[in-house]
Structure 1
Amino acid sequence: MNFKQFAFSVLLGIAALQSLAQVRTQEFGFQSDNDSFLAQGSDRYYTNGLFVFYRRGMDIKRIDKLVNKVLTIEVGQKIFNPQSGSITVNGQPNPAYIDRPFAGYLYAGGSLNLLYRNESNFKIGVQVGVIGPSAKGEQAQQVIHDTFGFYELSGWEYQIRNTPVINLSLDYNRLLARNEWIDLTASGMLNAGTAFNNIAVGPMVRLGNFNQLFNSYSTQSTATRNAIAPLHKKELFFYYKPMFNYIAYDATVQGALVNKKDDPTGMEVTGKPEPIMISHQIGVGFSGKRVNLGFEVAVHSKDVKTQRYNTHQWGSINVAYRFGK
């Protein structure tokens, strides 16, 4: 090796170290979902969700095909209503007004996201929790309504009864095509367990300044230890993700899947899911040196046969702070 080759190698090493030193390997953040974010005055179906998460880019012994590995730990709660959070008719609660069961879902979970140089990824996750009164859906919704001066709730006595949840999930993405400002990704998702059994497939289109799928807001992979140069120092892009969903079982609608017993109180109101559901996710994502920000509008066709309205929609806000080296 001559002097020029040696000097060039040293410069490349320094550049790589500087790039790695700028990488933030951990993230802490939250996501909030609510139909009131769309200012439509509705309060129905999937009406509120709150999730807190921690992500950490994991060490990879040899960066080859696998270029990023992200561990996520998360706790969250989802709240489901009928067409309104109050089913009072003529001064009395009327269960006939329940076109989608009341339900709360509280869980803790973790996932491992494996991201590859060819811009495909597998994310494997598990959630453990409870659906029913122990999920405190009524209490959480009451706090929201009291805080913001919303109407008085009624009808939670008819909610889905307690049922334990152990669920596994698998997410997959694969880049199909890209030019400078637009790309196309194939996406798929599978859930299996005691509460949620469904599969979904569809494309995702991104427009703007976006990075590779192994280091992007799109795949929750901005916490990283790799030193591969991103396409952009900052991401700012719009995306559209339509999905075709087949729903085999949903415990927030049907109640317990295992050890199903008659309700001794006679109060629980359950339903039947619509097996085919079409969803649309439209949003904007930003990823900077330390901060991720995102806003999304989700629109779903009816997922319960008895729903009065054919679609429901909500807004989602995502904020994360990246730190560490």
Structure 2
Amino acid sequence: MARQLRLFFLIFCAGTCFGQQHPYELNVSSENDNYCLNLHDGYYTNGLFVTLNYAPVGLNNRIRETSRLSKIVGQYQAGQMIFTPEFVTPKTTKDLMDRPFAGYLYAQKGLTFFYKKGHVLKTSVSVGTIGENSLAEQTQIFIHKTFDLLHPKGWNYQIHNEVGVNLQGQYWHELLPACWRKSRFDLHSLSQLTVGNTFTNASAGLLFRAGRFTQPDQSSWFNARVGREASHTSTEFYMFVQPAFQYQLYNATVQGGYFTNDAGAILSPLRHWGYRYDIGLLFSPPRWTFQIMYTYKQREAATMRHNEQFGGLTMAYRFGK
């Protein structure tokens, strides 16, 4: 019996199945500094993102055999991000608040374009709000009450309300020949540009993957395991490392709203240059995706006393016919 179970597990992890692809994927991602087991609330303290990825019929039907594109995937996303100083206990005073209290609540629409040469372009537009309307204070109080943590104090100094519109483009350029995928190594360059009155920044970095993965237009990393035609679907299991350098021109969660008078809120000068790296594992059988990630990031605000780190957990399920 034990031998049969081991054989089943090997087939499940390493096999390839042929069948109907699923045109929809529901993706839920949670980020929190406590996932690093440091028992500490501070800086980027919590993020929750719910995404619906789908295969748009009309756009994909327009792709011709002679086109450079192989596939288009659409996304709808809703998310919330919460930022606080290093300390949020009842004893925290204004002079200890080394980063502004801020929240960001938004909705986003995106399209990802996959090229036959392995390159990927993702574009998106988001509309959201900072300030009390982001519901960050209520969310953090609920989390602390649920897990019997100290009641957070200081949200009366948070950044004020402002609606923001942000445009973003991300581009992954494959650096290794396609034949290298058989060697289980993959390398992309990554460039990103965000323009808006909430965030304006640019970054550049690398994406390295090692393990079992599929071509980009079928890969879970790019949310591309959705489709409407029957095809081979391989199980993916790989580790990834993604270092990047970023230049920030504007960040409303640190500096306050671009068009808003933030008198009474505690703000901070922006630290323009910084780096971050993400490292993690991803496992994706035909219908599911599971990902765990650790992120280390330099300080965003000039007044922050420490760099920040947080963990991320992602689960996705594909459905529909």
Of 219-228 and 287-296, more deviation after overlay is shown by 219-228
CA distance in 1, matches of 2:188, 2:315: 23
Whose radius of gyration is greater, 1 or 2? 1
The alignment's TM-score, normalised by the length of structure 1, stands at 0.88
Q: Please tell me whether the aligned partners of residues 160 and 260 of structure 2 are also in contact (alpha carbons under 8 angstroms).
A: no
Give the structure 2 partner of residue 142 of structure 1: 141
Q: Is the 8 A contact 1:68 1:226 kept in 2?
A: no
Deviation at 1:228, TM superposition (A): 6.3
* Structure 2 letter corresponding to 1:56: Y
Q: Give me the whole-angstrom Cα distance separating, in 1, the residues matched to 2:119 and 2:229.
A: 16
- Equivalents in 2 of 1:222, 1:270: separation in Å? 42
1:324 paired residue number: 320
| 1:314 lines up with 2:313 in the alignment | no
Q: Which residue of 1 aligns with 2:132?
A: 133
Deviations 1:86-136 (A, max 9, x none): 2x43xxx52111101000110111100011111111111011010001111
In structure 2, what is the equivalent of residue 255 of structure 1? 256
Match of 1:37 in 2: 35
Hey, what's the Cα distance between the residues in 2 that align with 1:125 and 1:39? 33
| Partner residue in 2 for 1:209 | 212
Q: Contact 1:122–1:172 at 8 Å: present in 2 too?
A: yes
Aligned equivalent of 2:273: 276
Cα distance per residue 1:283-320 (max 9 Å; x no partner): 111211110110110110111110011x2111101111
Q: How many pairs align?
A: 296
What SS does the corresponding residue of 2:34 show, helix, strand or coil? helix
C-alpha deviation, 1:226, in angstroms: 5.7
Alignment partner, residue 44 of structure 2: 46
Q: Which residue of 1 aligns with 2:108?
A: 109
CA drift of 1:222 comes to 1.3
Separation (CA, whole Å) in 2 of partners of 1:176 and 1:103 = 38
Q: Which structure 1 residue ranges, 5 or more long, are not aligned? A: 1-17
CA 1:119–1:227 in structure 2 vs 1: closer, same or farther (change >3 Å)?
farther
Matches within 5 A, 1:1-325: 19=18, 21-59=19-57, 60-61=60-61, 62-63=64-65, 64-86=67-89, 88-89=90-91, 93-177=92-176, 178-179=180-181, 180-225=183-228, 229=232, 233-257=234-258, 259-261=259-261, 263=263, 267-309=264-306, 311-325=307-321
Matched letter for residue 290 of structure 2: L
Aligned pair in 2 of structure 1 residues 181, 155: CA closer, same or farther (>3 Å)? same
| 8 Å CA contact 1:58, 1:68 repeated in 2 | no
Separation of aligned partners in 1, 2:174 and 2:230: 20
The answer to whether the 8 Å contact 1:24/1:224 transfers is yes
Cα distance in structure 2, aligned partners of 1:275 and 1:55:
33
Distance, in Å, in 2 between the alignment partners of 1:227 and 1:244 is: 40
> Which residue identity lines up with residue 197 of structure 1 in the other structure?
T
Offset of 1:217 from its aligned partner? 1.4
Describe the SS at the equivalent of 2:88: coil
Give the TM-score normalised by the residue count of structure 2.
Answer: 0.89
Determine helix, strand or coil for the equivalent of 1:24: coil
Match of residue 5 from structure 1: none
Give the letter for the 1:202 counterpart: G
Q: Structure 2 regions of 5+ residues with no counterpart?
A: 1-16
Quick one: percent identity of the two aligned structures?
33
The one-letter amino acid paired with 2:242 is K
Large movers: runs of 4+ above 4 Å: 226-230
1:22 to partner: Cα distance: 2.2
